[in-house]
């Protein structure tokens, strides 16, 4: 299989879906002539033109609202946010319109929109540009939330998200855009709500999403090499819907679990999963479910300090050793 960058895997997904469905449009700041702030939409404007790849003013409230209205009328917009932190100015539209319209209309109106962009710290752009809001959005019934760790997953999940009739919040990571991975040339889809076992193991389950899944894999390698502990790594891929069956099956096998995320700890994704495991598989546990997350403070501007703020493989190893 060809080895391509994460950003190019997304680009392929957009191109294939634009060609497949005349209702798919890309909308956002600098997505057209400039090829996207992170070059994810490179070449698409030149190939598909102004009506399929549309630049917008710098107003997330305006263009997200416009995209939601277009989705209600039958288009399938893919909306780019330069940072997911900027979604806060469009939160009313996302939560009260996109998230509720199918329910409020008795199933008569769908909102097949994808809102995407980077949701991460670690790039020294300050607290107002470094939020990881997947837990905020996953708390809203009606919204689907996706986070891909690899180029393969990014393409397959994006294609599925574009075809979904519900609003899908697609969380990316600027630190992953240049990461390469194998992506098949033939078409494939990855269903939402299906986790992936990135590494099989027997001694403990590491549960993560997005870039944290790659951090968990590095921790698993350290545990195997230095401590003879065989860790299983579950990549959620989809936060809502959540693949509870895959998580519980792994925990019933290993009897221990650590949740890893780049979210803040309070009301984080890991908190939800830890509660779910405790409720549904308590008798299978040989130790408490532990969590590794970002330090509970606004994103630090200093590169050295911010690197310490995010989960590291050694942080995970330390947690694992405390219960293994």
Domain membership of residue 202 as a residue range: 196-323
175 inside domain: yes
Q: What is the distance between the alpha carbons of residues 208 and 235, in angstroms, rounded to a whole number?
A: 5
188 inside domain: no
Is residue 249 located within the same domain as residue 319?
A: yes
230 inside domain: yes
Is residue 166 located within the same domain as residue 266?
A: no
Domain of 11, CATH number, reads 3.40.50.970
- In which residue are the tokens 């792994």 written? 250
pLDDT tens-digit series, residues 155-201? 999 999 999 999 999 999 999 999 999 999 999 999 999 999 999 99
List beta partners, residue 118.
Answer: 172
Is residue 156 located within the same domain as residue 123?
A: yes
Domain of 250, CATH number, reads 3.40.50.920
pLDDT tens-digit series, residues 256-303? 999 999 999 999 999 999 999 999 999 999 999 999 999 999 999 999
Is residue 149 located within the same domain as residue 63?
A: yes
| String of DSSP letters for 78-111 | EEEPS-GGGGGGGHHIIIIIITTHHHHTTTS---
Residue 1 has pLDDT above 90, yes or no: no
Tokens of 283: 């008798």
pTM: 0.96
Residues with catalytic function: 60, 129
Q: Give residue 134's pLDDT.
A: 96
* Structural domain count, the chain: 2
Is residue 203 located within the same domain as residue 302?
A: yes
Is residue 91 located within the same domain as residue 62?
A: yes
């Amino acid at each position: 299989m060809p080895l391509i960058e994460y950003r190019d895997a997304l680009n392929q997904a957009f191109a294939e879906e634009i060609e497949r469905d005349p209702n798919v449009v890309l909308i956002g700041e600098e997505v057209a002539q400039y090829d996207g702030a992170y070059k994810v939409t490179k070449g698409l404007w030149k190939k598909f033109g102004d009506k399929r790849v549309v630049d917008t003013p710098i107003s997330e409230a305006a263009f997200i609202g416009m995209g939601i209205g277009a989705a209600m009328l039958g288009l399938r917009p893919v909306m780019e946010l330069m940072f997911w932190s900027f979604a806060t100015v469009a939160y009313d539209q996302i939560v009260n319109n996109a998230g509720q319209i199918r329910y409020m209309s008795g199933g008569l109106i769908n909102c097949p929109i994808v809102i995407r962009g980077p949701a991460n710290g670690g790039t020294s752009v300050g607290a107002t540009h470094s939020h990881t809001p997947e837990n905020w959005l996953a708390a809203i019934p009606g919204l689907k939330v996706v986070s891909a760790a690899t180029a393969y997953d990014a393409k397959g999940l994006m294609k599925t998200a574009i075809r979904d009739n519900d609003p899908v919040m697609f969380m990316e990571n600027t630190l992953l855009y240049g990461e390469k991975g194998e992506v098949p040339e033939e078409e494939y889809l990855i269903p939402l709500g299906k986790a992936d076992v990135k590494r099989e193991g027997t001694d403990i389950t590491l549960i993560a999403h997005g870039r944290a899944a790659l951090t968990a894999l590095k921790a698993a390698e350290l545990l195997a090499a230095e401590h003879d502990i065989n860790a299983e790594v579950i990549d959620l891929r989809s936060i809502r819907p959540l693949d509870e069956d895959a998580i519980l099956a792994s925990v019933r096998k290993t009897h221990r679990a650590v949740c890893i995320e780049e979210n803040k700890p309070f009301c984080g994704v890991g908190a939800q999963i830890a509660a779910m495991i405790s409720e549904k598989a308590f008798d299978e546990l040989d130790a408490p479910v532990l969590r590794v997350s970002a330090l509970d403070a606004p994103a630090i501007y200093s590169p050295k300090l911010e690197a310490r703020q995010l989960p590291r493989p050694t942080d995970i190893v330390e947690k694992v050793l405390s219960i293994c």
